[in-house]
Structure 1
Amino acid sequence: MSYKKFENTYLNYLSQHKWLVWVMILTVVLIWGYAWTLMKEALQYMGPFTFSAFRFGTGTLAMFIIIGLLGATKLPKESTKHLVVVGILQTSIVFLLVMYGLKFVEAGKSSVLLYSMPIWSTLLAVIFLKEKTKTNKVVGLLIGLIGLFTILGWDIWVNQTPGVILGELLIVLSAISWGASNVYYRKKLSHLSQLQVNAYQMLFGTLGIILVAVLIEGGEPIHITPYSIYIILFTGVLASAFCFTAWFFLLSIIDMATATISTLLVPVFGLFFGWLLLDEPITWSITIGSFLILFGIFVTTIKKRKST
Structure 2
Amino acid sequence: MAAARSDVLSRTLSPTMSLVVIVGLSMIWGYHWAVMKIGLYYCGGLTYTAIRCIIAAPVMLLIVKLRGGSIRLKAPKAAIIVGIVQTAGNFGLGAIAVKFGEAGKSAVLTYTMPFWVLLLGFLFLGERAGPRRWIAATLAGIGTLLVALAGGVAQLMPVALAILAGICWASGVLLYQYFHKKNADEPTVFAAWQLLVGGISMGIFIPFVPGEHAIQWTPAFIGAMTYTTVLATIVAVYLWFLLISRLEAGMVALGILLAPAIGLASSWIQLAERPSLLEATGLGTILFAIAFFAWAEWRRSRAVKTD
1:147 pairs with one of 143, 146, 155: 143
What aligned pairs does 1:220-259 form with structure 2 within 5 A after superposition? 220-251=213-244, 254-259=247-252
Look up the match of 1:121: 117
1:72 pairs with one of 70, 73, 89: 70
| 1:143-162 deviation line (CA, Å, top 9, x unaligned) | 22122222223x04xxx3x3
Q: Secondary structure at the match of 2:42?
A: coil
| 1:37-69 deviation line (CA, Å, top 9, x unaligned) | 111111211111111111111221222123323
Give the Cα separation in 1 of the matches to 2:202 and 2:157.
20
Deviation at 1:262, TM superposition (A): 1.1
Q: Aligned pair 1:265/2:261, yes or no?
A: no
Look up the match of 1:43: 40
2:166 partner letter: A
Structure 1: gaps of 5 or more residues: none
Contact 1:40 1:102 in 2 (8 A): yes
- Work out the percentage of aligned pairs sharing the same amino acid: 27
Look up the match of 2:54: 57
173 and 6 in structure 1: CA distance in 2 versus 1, 3 angstrom threshold: closer
Look up the match of 2:108: 112
Deviation at 1:187, TM superposition (A): 2.4
Deviation at 1:281, TM superposition (A): 0.9
Give the Cα separation in 1 of the matches to 2:46 and 2:220.
18
What aligned pairs does 1:130-209 form with structure 2 within 5 A after superposition? 130-153=126-149, 155-156=150-151, 160=152, 162-190=153-181, 191-192=183-184, 193-209=186-202
Give the Cα separation in 2 of the matches to 1:277 and 1:61.
32
1:92 pairs with one of 88, 92, 95: 88
Give the Cα separation in 1 of the matches to 2:211 and 2:158.
22
19-28 or 49-58, which deviates more: 19-28
Give the Cα separation in 2 of the matches to 1:293 and 1:25.
19
Give the Cα separation in 1 of the matches to 2:237 and 2:130.
31
265-274 or 241-250, which deviates more: 241-250
Give the Cα separation in 2 of the matches to 1:219 and 1:187.
34
251 and 80 in structure 1: CA distance in 2 versus 1, 3 angstrom threshold: closer
Structure 2: gaps of 5 or more residues: none
2:196 partner letter: L
TM-score by length of 1: 0.87
